[in-house]
Structure 1
Amino acid sequence: METFQIPGASVAILKHGQIIYTNGYGFANLELRVPAKPETSYLIGSVTKTFTAAAAMILWEEGRFNLDDIIGDYLPHLPHHWKPVTIRQLLHHTSGIVTNLGKADSLCKFNFDCDNYTRANVIQETACLPLSFEPGTKWEYSGRGYYVLGMLIEKLSGKTFSEFLKERIFTPLGMSETGMINYDIIVPNRASGYVVGEYGLQNSPQMNPEVELSDGGLISTALDLAKWDASFYTERILKRSTIDLMWSNARLKDNTIVSSYGIGFGLTPYKGHKRVGHTGDIPGFSSCITRFTNQNITVIILTNITNSRLNIGKLGNEIAACYWARKI
């Protein structure tokens, strides 16, 4: 925590879906000196994508779409060059849809009203850019692709993304402290976010919920994410065959295997051990959930810092390695 200037962190470690260790470290709020606890709520950034993928696969299990359907058939108002992308390609990050906002800003020259930012603005931000490659021919992480998946979930379910997650995932699992970013409501135990500035730590900007949505818009706790991990030992949310599909490596059109990603989960091994999980980085917060499937060990880390030097996923892997050594 000293090395990476982490104000606060909450950690949960699980074996076979059961918590074997949990604790809070440092401060959830530096100005008020509020200690971080296992119950502290943090923005989880792209760990949200595990829920987005699961929500999409719930609808797939119900026969609401085929994975190789093109997204334009469901969302006809998308930019024309995005429409031929398949739902499978969105889930696998092989769509070619660009998320590089810096590049888009320099080329598109949009002047959005930041106080009244709309979903259309989110799409316009990168729609001016061509696809990075022909869909299905390469792998490139695309937050904007997962944003489109959130729109698909809303279209097919007839509910908001937030309502669908609450009804089909959060409530069934008892995840009462998990929901979409909302600065208008009182959230008990909400951590303040920090970034590393020129003179040390400073308060992070607040994130626009409309911008994040299914890309990175959730707030949660280590204890709630423990319930999420535990659900994958069961079929309470998804069938075992569907979970296996999500935890299988993506393939390109030429059948080349993508070594790093499945559906909503990263699959990069660590020291020869099979791993599924995801990291999240959003201004003010860094998080990870990493599960070693052969050892049935999961490590969840939530922090209230953005620091480019902090590799939160590596930290989670190293904590898990301590448990292998102890053969717990």
Structure 2
Amino acid sequence: MKNFLSAFFMLSSIVVFSQKKESPKIELKQTIDNYLQQTIKANEIPGLAVGVVKDGKIIFEVYYGKENLEGNHPINQNSLFRIYSTSKLISTVSVFQLIEKGQLSLDDTISKYLENLPKEWQDVKIKNLLSHSSGIPNIIRYKDISVAATDQEKIERLSKEKMEFETGNQFSYNQTNYWLLTMMIEKITGESFENYILENQFSHSKDKILFSSNSSENISNRVVKNFYNTKTKRYEKTSENDGLRAHSGNGVNITLPTFLNWSINLNNNIFLDSETKKSMWKTFDFNNKKDRFAYGWDITKVNNHYSYGFSGGNVSAYRVFQDRNLSIIVLSNGYRYAPVQDQIINHIAGLVDKNLIDQYLLSEESIISEFLKVDNQNAEQNYQTLKRKNPEWNFQKTLNLTGYILIGNDRPDDAIKVFELNVKDNPNSGDAFDSLGEAYFIAEKYEIANKHYLKSLELNQKNDNAKKMLSKINQILSTKK
């Protein structure tokens, strides 16, 4: 009997200890879930999937909403999300795999691998494509180029356009860069881009990833992106079709579990060794000494910790906080007011790791969300409270962004209130007065708009937009006399 009681109490102690050990994990999951539920409600997000990897293990994976608004099929582990430009991260890893094998170099010119290029493109290097510093004309700006055009037909058409800037001078996001990388990957490997990606990054999950840059294509379990029509007050499905040669830039469709495993493999140096990853995440040296971007990866600073990632279509994002061994994936199918994928990542990062709590970003999130509420009479009070607590912080860009979100959602009167607050707090900012002038112009209050554009021009005499708008307003007012 004594031995039985001893064993019983020992087992009870183990169970209690285990429950105490698990409770912080359960509490964290509940906290993240509560936050996401609030965010979904505030932004009327139709569907969302979020995953978190910490120290090489998946600690959070959750699904909300439906795959398609017209059906009742819930988003789940088999749902395929088109991740749009987040696809570029997977393509970038494939480039660095070739670099690691010695089959490619960042300093190689693209003319080493591609023929019949315009003279101005000849000396553009691989590193310029990855860092978006090539200056090559951006293919999406030319609507006369068919998505079905051959590679050579596209090159011939783009060769008629001038270089956008001197190669290496600045960052300018450009879809042509990744289409050219696609061609080089295929030339070097002798495989199609899609097969090379599948074999070298998804060999054990080929049925959980597919390539399609056509949103109208009927694909089982695919989550369709939606946009909110402010006129009809309802969501509508997108129908973008960028063609088969856009897959490296925006055509990856993937399930959340597959993406999470990809992240684990990347962080465990399965795809690339640690030194290669360091070179991939190294800041590119732009000639203008202003822009900051790595090789295919955006660089974001959160509470003095650098993270690397990218977002796509305003509905997907991936970020890795390398020094904290943390990765976060956000996949959605639309938003009512503004894209929130980066906001979600920053917020969750702070919940998972207190070293990543960024009070400025949290304050920014609070300011925007309060002003976006339809019943937002407490928004300014919330803003002023945050300002008093942190007088050294400037929220000019935050207020400006909020105002334009409100304009985009047919709420010009609310936008005017936010822009008025911005010029009050930033009386020497020509940009703030320019935005206020635009809001009054949209509200058809032309005389007041004229006054604010004049003030903007007084503060910034190089403001060509203000000059153009003043001319337009004068024409409108003259016709009314």
TM range (shorter): 0.7 to 0.9
Distance 1:306 1:206, change over 3 A: farther
Secondary structure, aligned partner of 1:76: coil
CA offsets 1:163-214 (integer angstroms, 9 cap, x no match): 1001111105x46412211779975422122122231211110424425221
* Aligned positions of 1:82-121 closer than 5 A: 82-99=121-138, 101-102=140-141, 104-105=142-143, 110=144, 116-120=148-152
CA contact 2:227–2:238 (8 Å) conserved in 1: yes
* Aligned positions of 1:302-321 closer than 5 A: 302-305=331-334, 309-321=338-350
Out of 272, 283, 291, the position equivalent to 1:238 is: 272
CA contact 1:76–1:83 (8 Å) conserved in 2: no
For 1:324, the aligned partner's letter is: D
For 1:37, the aligned partner's letter is: N
Note the aligned Cα RMSD (angstroms). Answer: 2.7
CA contact 1:96–1:132 (8 Å) conserved in 2: yes
Tell me the number of residue pairs that the alignment of Structure 1 and Structure 2 aligns: 315
For 1:213, the aligned partner's letter is: H
CA offsets 1:50-94 (integer angstroms, 9 cap, x no match): 111111111112222222111012111233322220011111111
Out of 214, 226, 235, the position equivalent to 2:260 is: 226
How far 1:16 moved relative to its partner?
Answer: 1.8
Gaps in structure 2 of 5+ consecutive residues: 1-39, 357-481
How far 1:150 moved relative to its partner?
Answer: 0.9
CA contact 1:122–1:211 (8 Å) conserved in 2: no
Which structure dedicates a bigger proportion of its chain to strand?
Answer: 1
> Which has the higher relative contact order, 1 or 2, with Cα contacts under 8 A spaced 6 or more apart?
1
Out of 6, 11, 32, the position equivalent to 2:71 is: 32
CA contact 1:7–1:304 (8 Å) conserved in 2: yes
Out of 239, 248, 255, the position equivalent to 1:205 is: 239
Bigger Rg, structure 1 or 2: 2
Secondary structure, aligned partner of 1:274: strand
Partners in 2 of 1:31 and 1:122 — Cα distance?
37
Distance 1:175 1:262, change over 3 A: farther
Distance 1:153 1:180, change over 3 A: same
Out of 133, 154, 166, the position equivalent to 2:186 is: 154
CA offsets 1:243-267 (integer angstroms, 9 cap, x no match): 111111111358x4743x2122111
Partners in 1 of 2:319 and 2:165 — Cα distance?
30
CA contact 1:16–1:230 (8 Å) conserved in 2: no
Secondary structure, aligned partner of 1:23: strand
Partners in 1 of 2:321 and 2:241 — Cα distance?
31
Distance 1:313 1:79, change over 3 A: farther
Distance 1:122 1:236, change over 3 A: same
For 1:240, the aligned partner's letter is: S
How far 1:275 moved relative to its partner?
Answer: 0.6
TM-score in terms of structure 2 length: 0.60
CA contact 2:213–2:251 (8 Å) conserved in 1: no
- Percent identity over paired residues: 25
Matched, 1:171 2:210: no
Distance 1:236 1:113, change over 3 A: closer
Partners in 2 of 1:74 and 1:306 — Cα distance?
41
CA contact 2:139–2:176 (8 Å) conserved in 1: no
The answer for the alignment partner of 2:375 in structure 1 is none
Distance 1:123 1:11, change over 3 A: farther
Matched, 1:249 2:283: yes
Judge which range, 312-321 or 239-248, deviates more. Answer: 312-321
Judge which range, 160-169 or 267-276, deviates more. Answer: 267-276
CA offsets 1:203-255 (integer angstroms, 9 cap, x no match): 1104244252211111111111111111122232112111111111111358x
How far 1:140 moved relative to its partner?
Answer: 1.6
CA contact 2:213–2:246 (8 Å) conserved in 1: no
For 1:24, the aligned partner's letter is: Y
Partners in 1 of 2:146 and 2:92 — Cα distance?
30
CA contact 2:43–2:335 (8 Å) conserved in 1: no
CA contact 1:10–1:24 (8 Å) conserved in 2: yes
CA offsets 1:121-157 (integer angstroms, 9 cap, x no match): 5546654432221111222222211111111101111
The answer for the alignment partner of 2:456 in structure 1 is none
CA contact 2:213–2:250 (8 Å) conserved in 1: no
The answer for the alignment partner of 2:227 in structure 1 is 195
Secondary structure, aligned partner of 2:339: coil
For 1:95, the aligned partner's letter is: S
Distance 1:309 1:100, change over 3 A: farther
CA contact 1:119–1:210 (8 Å) conserved in 2: no
Distance 1:155 1:308, change over 3 A: farther
Partners in 2 of 1:211 and 1:317 — Cα distance?
33
CA contact 1:175–1:227 (8 Å) conserved in 2: no
The answer for the alignment partner of 1:298 in structure 2 is 327
The answer for the alignment partner of 2:212 in structure 1 is 181
